[in-house]
A and B are shown apart, each in its own frame.
Chain A
Amino acid sequence: MTSIDVRDLTKEYGGRRAVDRLTFSVRPGRVTGFLGPNGAGKSTTMRLVLGLDRPTSGTATIGGRPCAALDEPLREVGALLDTGAAHGSRTARDHLRVLAATHRIPGRRVDEVLEEAGLAAVSRNRVRTYSLGMRQRLGIAAALLGDPRVVLLDEPSNGLDPEGIVWIRELLRRLAREGRTVLVSSHLMNETASFADHLVVLGRGRLLADTPVREFVHARAEPRVRVRTPDGAALRDLLARHGYESVAEEGEGAGDRWTVRHARVDDIGRLASGAGVTVLELAAEERTLEQAYLDLTAAEAEFTAMSPSRAQEA
């Protein structure tokens, strides 16, 4: 099985650390979302993993070997890094043929990945006539060309239309099912939540989290319960007595709507029933990856603001 292993990886540009003592592993058989704000070091890390940039210190290996030492790299690792990598004056098919020639990959395979990326009909058009979404599809087709065991995609959903988004989601799930190692960077939270099993979160080049998505969301996002009741005052007093903080919402229809923070449906339901408060609606508020992520990065921002040495660097 082929994993990506990043150990103590550091990359400095001038005096600035783009990647700061990063250590994590990307395992096969699941989609790992690579999150972080712009400039957090996601793309730099991917370039380091691919051996395109030289690390200041530390190592990045694929299946235990540095990428530059692989005999047939396209069969081991496929990557989408730059959407502009295909020359505008070349046709999509020629772009892939050039790449395929380096590994003696037959033209049949080129047509296969073009078909898979939904570009078969336009494969003989020049890339400059392509929309951003089509260029992304071409970049993904290039990444899949060598049928690699490891796939790295940098912001693959950029510019894709809704069908494209669904397509990439299905594709990523399938690649993981096939036992491949899939690392996908994004700054779109809901998008990432829809395909990732595992998360690696960066902030300012440092590792903020390396956990399964479910755990990440549950650990970070504050659980809330929404209640609708005709007896708002009684509910508020009841909850306050038990240490819950409840906030009234603008109500329409019968009864008041309340949001209870840091609460679970089971607890609130039992409390209300025990005290005889009428409840018309009771629902857990869906916790999103976005909330969890923003909580995490807000905490990091606070930490950064408090730490004078980091503040000076910034």
Chain B
Amino acid sequence: MPFAPALHSEWLKIRTLPSLAAGPAAVVLVTAAFTALAGLDESAGADSDPLFASLFGVVLGQIAAVTFGAQAVSAEFRGGALRLSLSAVPHRGRWFAAKALAVGASALAAGLLAGCASLAVGWAVPGSRAGGPNWGEGLRGVVGCGVYMALMALFAAGLTALLRSGVMTLSILVPFLLVVSFVIGGVSGTAADYLPDKAGQVVLHSTSDGALGPWTGLAVTAVWAAAALAAGAWSVRRRDA
């Protein structure tokens, strides 16, 4: 059985479930909204990076991306939905690849849009820093934002397949992204630079002072996402549905 029908089915699954279809839209809205809020806050740190100031909303937008990735997979673990899915696509590796591609592509598109919207908001809001990012930086930021969102959604998707629970995945990832990474991420030049979110967010800054550059940072996040997906695929293939 070819891959395309399985992918089409997974794409339809996202489109026809309101809570999932709203996920990518939430990524765009949350990212843009929080960039605007942060821009309005005049008292924000003066040492702010011009590009990151325009993409600040990603810090919260990624929560929407992670939630989307987790929900897309966790919907399979309720009421025997996975059994029905696998009875139609018994090749489990292929099924999970189709799922991941549908989730990743949706999150990528949402991330690119979120990046554009966020930059536009950053320029439009009067309180934004003088200068702001230049076009080259802005383009890099948008692409980086898209790839970063896609990778975070996939990281969550893989983790959810491994844990077989969206609630468990989110109760690990959300506090991690909002609290742990914020606290220990303040220091650079440590192993914390290689955390999935910290590494990937280098691309959202004009300048980086850590060991990782914009693209190597995204590569590190990609390794995290790939590891989570591999673990998830292993779980899907090995365990009883």
* B residues less than 8 Å from A89 (CB atoms): 17-19
- Pair A104/B16 contact, Cβ less than 8 Å: no
A82 within 8 A of B: yes
Alpha-carbon distance between A186 and B199 when the two chains are bound, in angstroms: 55
- Pair B9/A101 contact, Cβ less than 8 Å: yes
By size class, the interface of chain B is 20 to 34
Q: Which of A45-53, A161-169, A253-261, A304-312 forms contacts with chain B?
A: A45-53
- Pair B9/A53 contact, Cβ less than 8 Å: no
Q: Considering the complex, which residues of chain B in the window 1-52 have a beta carbon less than 8 Å from any beta carbon of chain A?
A: 1, 5-6, 8-9, 12-13, 16-19
- Pair B80/A87 contact, Cβ less than 8 Å: no
- Pair B81/A52 contact, Cβ less than 8 Å: no
B86 within 8 A of A: yes
Q: Considering the complex, which residues of chain A in the window 24-70 have a beta carbon less than 8 Å from any beta carbon of chain B?
A: 47, 50-54, 67-70
Alpha-carbon distance between A154 and B16 when the two chains are bound, in angstroms: 27
- Pair B88/A73 contact, Cβ less than 8 Å: yes
- Pair A98/B9 contact, Cβ less than 8 Å: yes
* B residues less than 8 Å from A267 (CB atoms): none
* A residues less than 8 Å from B78 (CB atoms): 84, 87
Min distance, Cβ B73 to any Cβ of chain A, angstroms: 13
- Pair A87/B87 contact, Cβ less than 8 Å: no
Which residue from chain B places its CB closest to the CB of A69 in the assembled complex? B90
B75 within 8 A of A: yes
- Pair B241/A52 contact, Cβ less than 8 Å: yes
Which residue from chain B places its CB closest to the CB of A139 in the assembled complex? B84
Alpha-carbon distance between A97 and B90 when the two chains are bound, in angstroms: 18
Q: When A and B form their complex, what is the total count of cross-chain residue pairs whose Cβ atoms lie within 8 Å?
A: 91
Alpha-carbon distance between A67 and B79 when the two chains are bound, in angstroms: 22
Which residue from chain B places its CB closest to the CB of A97 in the assembled complex? B12
Alpha-carbon distance between A90 and B85 when the two chains are bound, in angstroms: 15
- Pair A47/B241 contact, Cβ less than 8 Å: yes
Alpha-carbon distance between A95 and B87 when the two chains are bound, in angstroms: 14
Alpha-carbon distance between A52 and B85 when the two chains are bound, in angstroms: 10
* B residues less than 8 Å from A91 (CB atoms): 16
B83 within 8 A of A: yes
- Pair A53/B80 contact, Cβ less than 8 Å: no
Alpha-carbon distance between A68 and B241 when the two chains are bound, in angstroms: 12
B209 within 8 A of A: no
* B residues less than 8 Å from A81 (CB atoms): 80, 83-84, 87
* A residues less than 8 Å from B13 (CB atoms): 98
Q: Considering the complex, which residues of chain B in the window 59-85 have a beta carbon less than 8 Å from any beta carbon of chain A?
A: 75, 78-81, 83-84
Alpha-carbon distance between A104 and B1 when the two chains are bound, in angstroms: 11
* A residues less than 8 Å from B80 (CB atoms): 81-82, 84-85
Q: Considering the complex, which residues of chain A in the window 89-145 have a beta carbon less than 8 Å from any beta carbon of chain B?
A: 89-91, 94-95, 97-99, 101-104, 142
Alpha-carbon distance between A52 and B76 when the two chains are bound, in angstroms: 14
Min distance, Cβ A150 to any Cβ of chain B, angstroms: 12
Pick from B9, B90, B241: contact of A99, CB below 8 A: B9
A175 within 8 A of B: no
* B residues less than 8 Å from A70 (CB atoms): 90
Pick from A72, A85, A103: contact of B84, CB below 8 A: A85
Known contacts A89-B18, A98-B13, A99-B84; is-contact A71 B240 (Cβ 8 Å): no
Seen from chain A, the residues whose Cβ lies within 8 Å of a Cβ on chain B are 47, 50-54, 67-74, 77, 79, 81-87, 89-91, 94-95, 97-99, 101-104, 142
Can you list 13 residue pairs at the A/B interface with Cβ under 8 Å?
A47-B240, A51-B90, A53-B241, A68-B91, A69-B90, A73-B88, A74-B88, A85-B79, A98-B12, A101-B12, A102-B5, A102-B9, A103-B88
Besides the known contacts A84-B81, A89-B19, A95-B16, 6 further A-B residue pairs in the complex with CB atoms under 8 A apart: A79-B87, A84-B79, A89-B18, A99-B84, A102-B9, A142-B84
The 3 closest A-B pairs by CB, nearest first: A84-B79, A82-B80, A94-B16
